[in-house]
Chains A and B, each alone.
Chain A
Amino acid sequence: MKKTIILLLTICFSVVAFAQTPKDSVQYLDQVVLNDVKLNQNAAGFKVVVLKDSVLDKNTSTFTDLLRFNSNIYFKENGYGMVSSPSFRGTNAAQTAVIWNGISINSILNGQTDFNLINTNNINQVVIRNGGGSVQYGSGAIGGSIHLDNTLNFGSHFTNAIKLNYGSFDTKNLSFVSDYGNDNLAVNIGVNYIDSDNDYKFLGTDQVNTNGAFDNLSLNLNFGYFISQKDVLKLYHQSFLGERAFSGTTVTPSNSKYVDQNFRTMLEWSRSSGSYKSIVKVAHLEENFEYYQNKNSEFFTFGKVSTLLLKHDFNYKLSKTLTLKSILDYNNYKGEGSSFGTPKRSVFSATGLMQYDPSTKLSLGFNLRQDVTTDFKSPLLFSIDGAYNITDFYKIKLNGSKNFRAPTFNDLFWQPGGNLDLIPESSYQLDLGHVVNYKWFQLQLNTFYISTKDQIQWTPNSSGFWGPENVAKTHSYGLEAGLNVTKYFNKHQLKFTSNYSYTVSENAETNKQLIYVPFHKANASIAYSFSKFLMYYQHLFAGSVFTTKDNLKGPFYSLKAYDVANLGFNYKVFKTTEKQLDLGIKVNNVFNEIYQNVAFRPMPNRNFNIQLHYKF
């Protein structure tokens, strides 16, 4: 029944949307101001998707939810709000880089970012860059990279926004953002607190998620100041303090919890003059975790890493068509933990980027990078990309690159098992994209091929320990399609966005699909607004995934495909030039679908969320 409804809805909306002829010339692709200029200037041949604050505002739940409903990325979540790891184009979590204001924040302990430890309330935009990006973003950018950006607004203004959310499972989400600016100064402060009992029902059983409560506090401070007309000083800071009980499974209860503390601070000085721009960044990142197997016990294991980063970008515009750029980057990591001693690592990297735009139609990029690391030898990386405008509305993009993923501290130093002989995973890839940007609709179609060797895998060895080795060779190929349609007619606006991906990601020797990579994934949102009302429907389909490497089907070997949908309403209670109050209601999992994206870890039943958003 529900599938029929969805089908009808989709057809209706599609017909309505396509029946309209374009009446206006609204700009659909807003000019995006990114502080990470590489995303603008050195990614012509890459698929880049921007999720702006209008999309972020609508997401009243986790970062994982934002991305699984709005991108091609597939997520494994150990229950709602728990450890969440992405699969980007069939690669694994350590092959997906997360970039905060231009620098990588993947943990050097496990190579990953837990997407449920990222709070998007204080982020202005999220950029998804599909495909290899190790030349620009270093280790881990194999499947793609996800960029969290804070933008600084100069110009005289002072705005504040308060968001109050209350939802099922006694979920409270409070956020306050204040933004001040004048000609020389921009200040942005954000505070966010989330607290949830997260005790949802395991649908179809009489169990509830008994050990899933979480709370976290995050603080953001961003500051920009023009010292002179040429020089800007910027400061970015983010603190995250979180505590999570770890959900059990349907068959195994849990009594464990994690405490996380992450601090990120970056000072940036940029100087631009005529044909050159120089940016110096100094950053300090700190991550700490404590794991309590028994949350009532005083025993815990811990890990912490402190990272110092120095970076210099130099951009030189030789001519109208040719821009050169160099990046020198030094990272120093100091770790300490219960299971891996006190490892250290220094990485120095040099990158050269050349952007050649011989005509307004053609854009070419040639990039090279070499890392020098204390623990192992890194490969020489390259990337070549190009974009060609065939017509005003049709563009072809092509890129090829070599990327890598460095062994983590866990891989090298975990006791027992750590293997000091590991070398980085290396990966080649090709990506061909088509972009159609035709007045009221945009279509992106990408086909990709990724081949990765020396993949690091943990297996039990003959001495009885689990240890990592450079064993696996994998290849992934597939197709991604994204269609966005926006139609205005009178005061009505209709917006349809959708993503579909077909992904084959195989062990190159056995030709078996990798575990937790669905062949098909699709999502779509339809938003309709009229005057003060906004109504939206989000739908996600994830195909069946294998949970063991044998590629067998059944309850011990695979997870069922699922459809999950959300429905939301927003009402603008009032709006003046200075003040605005929005009331939002959202129903998550509106059809009460029973689904899991990690075996034995059910996701929530139908639940509700109310949001008050006051801007002043």
Chain B
Amino acid sequence: MKKIIYSIVTLSLLVFSCTNDDDTFMSAEPLGAYENGILVIGEGGPSSVSYVSNDFATTENQVYFNVNDENLGVYLQSLGFNDDKAYIVVDAGTITVVNRYTFEKLGTISTGLMTPRFIAFNGDTAYVSDWADPFDSTDDYVAVVDLNSNTVTSTIAVTEGPEQVLVNANKLYVSHKGGYNVNNVISVINTSDSTLETITVNDVPDEMFIDNQGHLLVLNAGANQSWLSPPVETEASITRINLSDNSIITNLEFPAGQHPSLMTYQNGMAYYILNNQVFGLEDAATVLPTTPMFSILTGYSYGLSVRENQLFVSDASFTGNSTLLVYDLTTGAETGAFTTGVGASKIYFN
């Protein structure tokens, strides 16, 4: 009997005297140079930035943490680049400014932001879409940031759920995805006097690009509120807008039930994903393509970017690391797969 008791006591002592292995909790040695590569943001949490060099030879996860020995908040929403700086937008209300090549922290913008989403630049000014209180559909705004002082100098009130922002010829275009609700508006803000016009599009406008003709290309995912009674479901579409008079050139609607949410654009061709198939839409197209270019294999596509002959897709996991997949645009073959952070979303080229 005594033996049993002693062995139990010994066991408990062993447990208490276990030493912690602290080594794995130090930041990894940072590369220090993040140009000539691909950056993938991980929404989190914890949020992170991953790097893959253009030649795919070097990869690093948690770049910001490794360089600065601190974490970004959750959830990492987007990155913006201006000159040699990168702006890391976290929807808890902060934008962290870093050197885009070394990722060393230069400062933060936190006052005046509540639920920031995306950032765009025009000279010394940045524009940040902000949902404010997401439950309040009337308090949304675009924050105007002075990049010299990194402060919000004014706000421009806009309609519910401003999402992506794009500056073109002294105008700021804001897609109103709708936040927690559904919206169908593109705001057009004159950056010189902050006057506001709106363009109505299909529901849930999100991704925006300027095409080769200088037109604005918008992906509207369409409402998909199957849980409402009666359910609300509207058609998705890709809209091309003439920026000289904000008129709609084409509005190519998807069949009911199809809700593409990711689109990217390069040199005369927009690419979007629908049910794990990649489609290409030429600028001159008057109908949506019916045959896909190729198929991809992801669990949950959460980011899409194109460069030259390569299509990059984030296959997001929210409970573990995600994967960045690379496809050859001509053959559709998978040419690379890299581990990225938790909840990997947008893909940027640095």
Chain B residues numbered 1-42 whose CB sits less than 8 Å from any CB in chain A: 1-2, 4-5, 8-9, 11-13, 15-18, 20-22, 24-25, 27
B71, CB-defined interface residue at 8 Å: yes
Across the interface, which residues of B come within 8 angstroms of A293, CB to CB? 133-135
Across the interface, which residues of A come within 8 angstroms of B135, CB to CB? 293-294, 297, 299-301
A-B contact count (CB 8 A): 144
Across the interface, which residues of B come within 8 angstroms of A555, CB to CB? 25, 27, 46, 62, 65, 71
Q: Mark A79-121, 1 if CB is under 8 A from B, else 0.
A: 0000000000000000000000000000000000000000000
Across the interface, which residues of B come within 8 angstroms of A462, CB to CB? 275-276, 300
Across the interface, which residues of B come within 8 angstroms of A556, CB to CB? 46, 48, 61-62, 65, 341-342
CB–CB B224/A554 < 8 A: no
B267 to chain A, nearest CB (A): 28
Q: Mark B276-298, 1 if CB is under 8 A from A, else 0.
A: 10000000000000000000000
Across the interface, which residues of B come within 8 angstroms of A417, CB to CB? 227
CB–CB B4/A252 < 8 A: no
CB–CB A6/B16 < 8 A: yes
CB–CB B73/A249 < 8 A: yes
Across the interface, which residues of A come within 8 angstroms of B70, CB to CB? 251
A330, CB-defined interface residue at 8 Å: no
A3, CB-defined interface residue at 8 Å: yes
Chain A residues numbered 550-567 whose CB sits less than 8 Å from any CB in chain B: 550, 552-556, 558, 560-563
A301 to B25, CA, bound (A): 38
Closest to B46 in A: A556
A500, CB-defined interface residue at 8 Å: yes
Across the interface, which residues of B come within 8 angstroms of A473, CB to CB? none
B335, CB-defined interface residue at 8 Å: no
B176, CB-defined interface residue at 8 Å: no
Chain B residues numbered 85-138 whose CB sits less than 8 Å from any CB in chain A: 90, 92-93, 133-136
B259, CB-defined interface residue at 8 Å: yes
CB–CB A7/B17 < 8 A: yes
B210, CB-defined interface residue at 8 Å: no
Closest to B8 in A: A483
Tally of contact residues, B, Cβ under 8 A:
58
A556 to B46, CA, bound (A): 6
A441 to B1, CA, bound (A): 11
A541, CB-defined interface residue at 8 Å: yes
CB–CB B90/A252 < 8 A: yes
B318, CB-defined interface residue at 8 Å: yes
CB–CB B15/A522 < 8 A: yes
A418 to B135, CA, bound (A): 21
A460, CB-defined interface residue at 8 Å: yes
Chain B residues numbered 301-324 whose CB sits less than 8 Å from any CB in chain A: 302, 316-321
Interface residues of A (CB under 8 A from B): 3, 6-7, 10-11, 14, 18, 249-253, 293-294, 297, 299-301, 341, 415-418, 436, 438, 441, 443, 459-464, 481, 483, 498, 500, 515, 520, 522, 524, 539, 541, 543-544, 548-550, 552-556, 558, 560-563, 599-600
Interface residues of B (CB under 8 A from A): 1-2, 4-5, 8-9, 11-13, 15-18, 20-22, 24-25, 27, 45-46, 48, 61-62, 65, 70-74, 90, 92-93, 133-136, 221, 224-229, 259, 261, 275-276, 300, 302, 316-321, 341-342
* Interchain residue pairs with CB less than 8 A apart (21): A3-B17, A10-B9, A18-B5, A293-B135, A416-B226, A436-B4, A438-B1, A443-B5, A443-B8, A464-B224, A481-B11, A483-B5, A520-B15, A522-B16, A548-B321, A556-B46, A556-B62, A556-B341, A562-B20, A599-B46, A600-B71
